[in-house]
Structures are given as structure tokens and as C-alpha cells.
Structure 1
């Protein structure tokens, strides 16, 4: 799916790369009609781009001779912001329909100073996007760069972290990777304070400082899987323990690791362990599996299942 801004910029790119290009050719490349192509030309003219329209059989549109877009001077923060936006567009699949995404990535990469390019590539190599929902959390680029570089170079970092209860702690952390998911940024890795694998929300990191200490990341470590498992184990209002009589593969298709931890039972079925706040929603989730289940806890989930069954019966009998 194209967006108007993307198409207008694409038209400008065509004008810069061709001495003259016809309206029909612009329309063909953008897969629009000629009148829409003319509208994009008019939008560029409104932005102050000097375009000459040559009439006739061999006419078309061209930029005024000698016209050149002014050079862009990007700071590290600006370059990182643009690259993150373009990388997100690629992850969302927009690059398949807007070739300008890949072209813009390549052009910016070519002109970036080596120091800035190295930082941007560190983010690209270490950050995992899980964009099934809108991502809108803002973070300082300095923190993202520090943790991304440390994860790529295998350097420990000193963290000042604010817990959910407001307490601040100091710890040494070995970052294995970063994940952007559901509007939040996370870093997972080995925490020296707890001597275990830990998940940290980046919006709670007060300060991060790279250390000279090296670390070894476990081979084939699944960064996204570790984050989803940790999120599914975060204590909420109701501890959840349910056995569902289906295959592990089918259970994973419906219940993601971010919701609960799934384990195969020796006696058959799948044990679902985790925490929940909205039991009515959990009841609907289990019902969508269409299989027998055994509720071990909480007992309130049984009430939620009964409410759902009652609603379904009432809706089915409604005239």
C-alpha cells in the first residue's frame, strides 16, 4: 500500500534521475492514472520544487536545469531516527510495495560518517521488532545506541534501574539483545546482581554505561523467545494453571509465549502456566481452542467460563 507522501517523494526521485519523464510513465510506475500523477506534480510545485512541463508528443516533466536538492546534515539522533523508521517500514512489509524504502536506506547508509554508520548498524543487528501491534513508546537514542553496541560487541554495561515499585538498583548487565514489542522496548540478558537471565524495560533504565568487561552470549540464544517467556511469567492478579487437551503445536498457535508458558504434560495435554488480569478474556481464549480443559487455578476462571457459556447460549437462542 502506497501513501501519498511516499508517492510524491518517488515522483521527485524519478525527476532527479531522468532528464525528462512523461506523465503516462510516472502513472505506470506508480500504478495510478495520469490525472493522479499530475496531482503529485502539482504537490511538488507547491513545495517549491521548480518543474518544467514540456508539451507535445515527446514532452514530459523535468526539473529546472541547475536545480539540486540541498544537502542534508544529519546528527546521530536524526540519522538513527530515520533509519529506525525505514527499518520498521521494512519489517511491516512496506518495502515490498514501496521500493523507495530500500533506496532510502541504501542512500543514507552511503553518506553517513563511519562512526554514525557503525552505531546505526549495531541497532539494526541487535534490535528485534515484534510489530503485531502499534509501537509508539519513545526513548532516548543514547540508551538504544549504548545497549545495541554493547550487545553486538559483547560488552557488559552498568545499569541504574528503577523497579516497578520505584526502588532504584545498581547492577552489571550483559545485554544479549533488544526487542521492541507492543509499544515498549526491552533488553534481555544476564544480570550479575541476580545471577540469572533477566528482562529489563528500557523506559525504566535511568542510566546505562558501557564497561570494558567482555561476556559470552549463549550459542543460538533466542532473544525474542526469552522476552516473550519473561513477559508471560510476569505476576498479575490471578495465577493461572490450566491443562488443555490438545497438541503443543496447536496451543502455541493460539496462546503466545507473551501470555503464558506452555509445557507438555506427561499424562497428555498441555499445561498452561502464567498470570492473568482479565479472566473473561482468558475464558474466550481457551474456548477458541475448542478442546476439553481442566482448570486447576484460579477458581474464578470457572465462573468466567460459565458466564461465557451462558452468554453463548443466550445469543444462540435469541430470535
Structure 2
């Protein structure tokens, strides 16, 4: 969006919030001269937004009395997509002051029709994100599950693994996928369900009390890191936790401080040779503690690297 267009929208926001505002104050707030303010006022009038000019010492510009912007005409899917995109942007900003994303969410909250506004803000309040750039989920499904999380109501989901009754604790966005975390009545345990594998969901009359100490985001990360892999690996790294976490993605594994120094990387792997290749790319000394098969995979990789080094030296002129 061009800067003039941005300033026109900013002018409209000022007039809505402040009522009568002098031309000098508007120019100062927008960072332009009074002539530019007059051009922006003309642009608003061309959009059939009634901006009145008030003459005199205390004059300025204001919106016509009784004028209100109509509700923002977004469908449920569009509103969910906009809200989630803004929320994901907010995860990246991490500033101490209200950001542009915060202000945009406030505007969205004010302009959406009442019923949809409540459902979208409920979705934002019940969703945790580990990273930005998430794919937009099915809007009806996401809104139903968010309402159930917020209202502490059991839901019946039609999942790829069958129909399940779940006490939903939270929604989590990770690596562009959406997950529902909750107590699975069939398994009697805390489970993670991908939303793209849920065909439908409906609230049940039953209410529940969420247990204390359950963090949906941490549970998803732990499940994806350790619970879904064939091999559990433990590798000692000659570094400190802060340095390791800054270098390694969250899903690479759990880090535990070792009493003797260094950190223990506890992870999961489906392909041990691939894990061995990843380890040789780390900038620290390391020791594989388990499993022995990972040591064997590292030995094979080291042999291949040594052979490549020998060939490379022999090929030099």
C-alpha cells in the first residue's frame, strides 16, 4: 500500500477517534504539511465519507455527526485468515509498545460484526503459536474448537482415526500446521490431533475443568520431538543451553544441563544416518550416549567423509 493511501487511512482513524481535529494537529500526526491534509480530506470525500470543515480559531475537520463506518464485510473464512495472519505477525514483533499489528487487531475487532468478532477473538485467545506463516485452517472447524476450549466443553470430533470425544485444552500452530491438544476419552490420555485430519466437530453438553500444569504448546513440541519417532537418541554437546538453543530449532530435541558441564540433547529420529550427518554439521564437540546404532551410523558417515577427503587430495594437480 502506498504511503499516501496509508496516510488517508490514518487520517480517517484520527477523525473517528478524536472527533474535531485541527488541520495543524492532523499535519503533525501524519508528518505532512497542511496542504497534504486537504488533499487527503478530498480523497476521503471522493470515497463518500462525509468529512466536514469547521472554520474559526478552534476549527478543523471532523466526520459528519452520526456517521459510522459500516461493518467490515468479511466471511468467516476471510476473518479467520486475516486474524491469524495478524497474530502470527505479532509473534515476530516482540516489542514492548503496542505495535502496528496490535492496532490492526484492534481495528479488526471494532469493525467485525458482533457475533463474528466474538468468535474470532476467542480463536486468537485460545491459540498458541511456535512460529509464523501458518496455513489457515478450516474456519468453521477452528471457530468451533476455539469456542469449546474457551467454554471448557467436550467436543466430538470426526478424526481420521475414528470418532473421538475430547476435552480440548488448546489450539497450537507449529510448522504451518494446526493441532488440537486435549484429553482423549477413548485412550484416557492427553493427545494431539492435527486439524487437517479432523473432518468435523461438535460441542457436547458435558463441561470439564482444565488440569493445571498443562501447556498445549510445550506438549505439541514434546510430542513432535520425541513421541513420533522410531529411535530415541541422547547426545552430549560441549556447549551451554543458551548457545545450543540459539543454534538448534526447537523441534531438534530437548536440552538438559549436565552436572559435569555441557548439555544433553534428547531427540528422536527415524533415519539414524541422517541424524549422524546432522551431528557432524554442529560446531561443538559431541558424544553419542545412545543408541549404539547411531554410533555405527556415525562411523559409516565418517568413513565416507574420509574416503572423500582422500579422493579429493589425490585429484589435486
TM surpasses 0.5:
yes
Q: Give 1:282's aligned residue.
A: 278
- How many pairs does the alignment contain? 296
Q: Give 2:197's aligned residue.
A: 204
CA distance in 2 between partners of 1:53 and 1:248 (Å): 62
Q: Give 1:272's aligned residue.
A: 266
**Is 1:107 paired with 2:110?**
yes
CA distance in 1 between partners of 2:109 and 2:246 (Å): 36
CA distance in 1 between partners of 2:32 and 2:51 (Å): 20
Q: Give 1:230's aligned residue.
A: 223
Q: Give 2:315's aligned residue.
A: none
Contact 1:295/1:301, CA 8 A, preserved across alignment: no
CA distance in 2 between partners of 1:33 and 1:305 (Å): 71
Q: Give 2:146's aligned residue.
A: 148
**1:227 positional shift:** 1.1
Deviation larger for 245-254 or 141-150: 245-254
Q: How has the CA–CA distance of structure 1 residues 285 and 254 changed in structure 2, closer, same or farther, with 3 Å as cutoff?
A: farther
CA distance in 2 between partners of 1:280 and 1:10 (Å): 54
CA distance in 1 between partners of 2:277 and 2:12 (Å): 49
Contact 1:15/1:21, CA 8 A, preserved across alignment: no
CA distance in 2 between partners of 1:55 and 1:226 (Å): 62
For residues 186-218 of structure 1, the C-alpha deviation after alignment (integer angstroms, 9 at most, x for no partner) is 111222333322211111111112222333432
CA distance in 2 between partners of 1:236 and 1:36 (Å): 61
Q: Give 2:19's aligned residue.
A: 18
Structure 1: gaps (5+ residues)? 163-167, 315-319
**Is 1:192 paired with 2:185?**
yes
Q: Give 2:98's aligned residue.
A: 96
For residues 155-204 of structure 1, the C-alpha deviation after alignment (integer angstroms, 9 at most, x for no partner) is 22222112xxxxx4222222111112332211112223333222111111
Contact 1:240/1:276, CA 8 A, preserved across alignment: no
Q: How has the CA–CA distance of structure 1 residues 12 and 284 changed in structure 2, closer, same or farther, with 3 Å as cutoff?
A: farther
TM-score of the superposed pair, with normalisation by structure 2 = 0.70
Q: Give 1:134's aligned residue.
A: 133
**1:40 positional shift:** 5.0
CA distance in 2 between partners of 1:41 and 1:294 (Å): 69
**1:291 positional shift:** 3.9
**1:38 positional shift:** 6.5
Alignment of 1:304-319 (within 5 A): none
